[in-house]
Amino acid sequence: MCTCIDFQTKDHYFGRNLDLEYRFNEKVVITPRNYRFELKNGSAIHTKYAMIGMASVRDRYPLYAEATNEKGLSMAGLYFPKNAHFCCQNKDRFNLCPYELIPYFLGLYAKIADFRDILSRLNIADTPLAEDLPVAELHWMISDGTECIILEQMEDGLKIYDNPVGILTNNPPFSYHLANLNNYMNLTPCCPENRFSDRLDLQQYGMGMGAIGLPGDTSPASRFVRASFAKFNSVCEEDEESSVTQFFHILDSVSVVKGTSLTKDGLDDLTTYSCCINATRGIYYYKTYNNSQITALRMTDREKCRKTLCIHELIDTQQIRYLN
């Protein structure tokens, strides 16, 4: 499971927790300009814009979990099991496979408005990249700093939602998560008032009591509410260090600790990595479950113009600074 966040201070930030019971050989990958992607619909593209994000690489093909391009357009795929429904190639629609969405849209476009017409005729096809790579059941959040949208293709077709919250988790469909926020409109970061009864002398006995009822479990619906509450009530300075620090604190509020969420097979579902991308400047920050130190990678001019992918191995062992 996962949580994705869109965040704005002076710059635009985009990122996520990736929660899984396994690793997928993920690395920070920069795809340069003019990089060729062959599509399963029989066509091919050469990227206009470079992009940076977390991906596994198969035969020089980056399978991005999330990425941002050099214009600040950002996109992430999140697990959407049983609800996601992908179809066979449809000659009457514009066909893209799930793993093609990020390289296609980020490789060619700077703003959501630039490809709205394509979304209106899009069919997300179920063709795998290779026979041993099943198609992942996903939905997507896309943001350019001014607009944020959600793509969900289910049995009744492709849904495109405007996302005023700038949050996405997993099941149920996005429309449920938006409606569910109404159940928590009474929550506040402020000290609560006694509305129970004016005949009882009820007193606050600790901080945070205005948010009693905020869900604390790691289910997708609860993480959506908790991340939304943290984001919309967060107070943050405008500088880079403060913005990145606050972004990771919001992600930490919905991270999954090893041992607290088990699959049916008894495997640990946990936050394998968290990332924060300064989409305005093209800086990718990350930390892993095993290394809580923040590591940063920039999308440099040299890497934007090279001929091949630039692949950075993760620093996945704890970095401790000893002072004596």
Considering only CA atoms, which of 269, 229, 270, 271 is closest in space to residue 250? Answer: 229
Q: Scanning the structure block, which residue is given the tokens 């190639």?
A: 89
Q: Which of 222, 225, 292, 209 is nearest to 252 (CA)?
A: 292
List strand residue ranges (DSSP E) for 170-293, in order: 270-278, 283-288
Whether 2 sits among the annotated catalytic residues: the reply is: yes
State the Cα–Cα distance between residues 244 and 12, nearest whole angstrom.
11
Exposure class string for 262-301: b at 16+ Cβ within 10 A, else e: eeeeeebbbbbbbbbbbbbebbbbbbbbebeebbebebee
Contact assessment for residue 7 and residue 14, using Cβ atoms and an 8 Å cutoff: yes
Helix (H, G, I), strand (E, B) or coil at 115: helix
Cβ-contact 244, 276 below 8 angstroms: yes
Catalytic machinery residues: 2
